Amino acid sequence: METTTVAGRTWNFVKAIGRNAAAGNGFTQPTAVAIARDGSMYVLSRGQEGAGGVVAQNKRIGKITMDDELIGDFGRQEFTWPVGLAVSKDDKLYCSDEYGNFIAWYSADGERLGQWGEAGSKEGELSGPSGIAFDADDNLYVVDSLNDRVQKFTKDGNFITSWGGSGSGEGQLDRPWGVTVDKDGDVYVADWGNDRVQKFSGDGKPLLTFGGEPGQGGDLKRPSDVAVDSEGDVYVVDWGNKKVQIYDSEGNALAALYGDATEFSKWAKEVVESNPDVVKAYRRVKDRTPLGLFERPVGIAIDDEDRIIITESTRGRLQVYAKEKNYLEPQFNL
């Protein structure tokens, strides 16, 4: 078991889940993961890009258990550029489409129930919606990426408020991407173009910035998503640096996860056993990095047990870590 320990905290690598696949026990460019109320996981396969960058095939949402059991998939070909996932208090699944400028929602069983959203830059309109997240009152925060703002809606799509604006100053945003809400109702936004994460109050007041100057240990390059655990530690998917950077609640850099999947997932093993030649292809990555390291990590979610689930779009899998609570540093008598 691979372990990362720092500042009285330790993270243990648990497993890899999934593989590159067009159907069944696999994913195609997984970009987001969300936790259902029963503890199972929804995984968004963005699909393969066709001519002109339009995603042509294998777009879908899979539902799986932490034990690698496939429950089913749905939403096939119902999106163009699907991006974010979020689960409401009544266990409805919401998904954003940055090309169609809408939010669709589904029942827990995968029945499409409807959608809302209209293209534009006025209040309540959307341009390139990406990350989405619910707060404790079931209001939905939508990262309105191409409008460089965050908008807050009811789950039925009624506009409540918005904030942001293009720029690099406090409270301004540049092509923001992921978003999450902590237990206190504060909102964290992955400010992609500004290489930072900003923390806001629920009504948009700037509170804190995560990132830091290059070379200071907590610097970021194109952060794509963010999550917060039960103890307030913040996890940022550092897409450009191929890692997950961990901060404490005050924005101090603690540690980083770089990927530890040194063995095939359960689903990948099934393919390997039936076709040993797949091993060579599976290991043949563009920059020849070791198999276990992250390759284009994108999305992140944390469940009620503080297990951290990270999507890898290129490798078509999830990597799962567990945070050990009440960790004590070993004592040595020399």
DSSP output for 42-57: EEEE--EE-GGG-EEE
Q: 125: which residues sit within 8 A by CB, 6+ positions away?
A: 101, 118, 119
pTM of the model: 0.91
Per-residue pLDDT of the chain (334 residues; tens, 9 = 90+): 567 777 788 999 999 998 887 666 689 999 999 999 999 999 999 987 655 555 557 899 999 999 989 899 999 889 999 999 999 999 999 999 999 999 999 999 999 999 999 999 999 999 999 999 999 999 999 999 999 999 999 999 999 999 999 999 999 999 999 999 999 999 999 999 999 999 999 999 999 998 865 665 678 999 999 999 999 999 999 999 999 999 999 999 999 999 988 777 877 777 666 666 656 655 554 444 577 889 899 999 999 999 999 999 988 899 999 998 765 555 444 4
pLDDT at 286: 40
Task: Look at residue 302 and give its three-state secondary structure.
Answer: strand
The residues near 100 (Cβ < 8 Å, ≥ 6 apart) are 79, 80, 81, 117
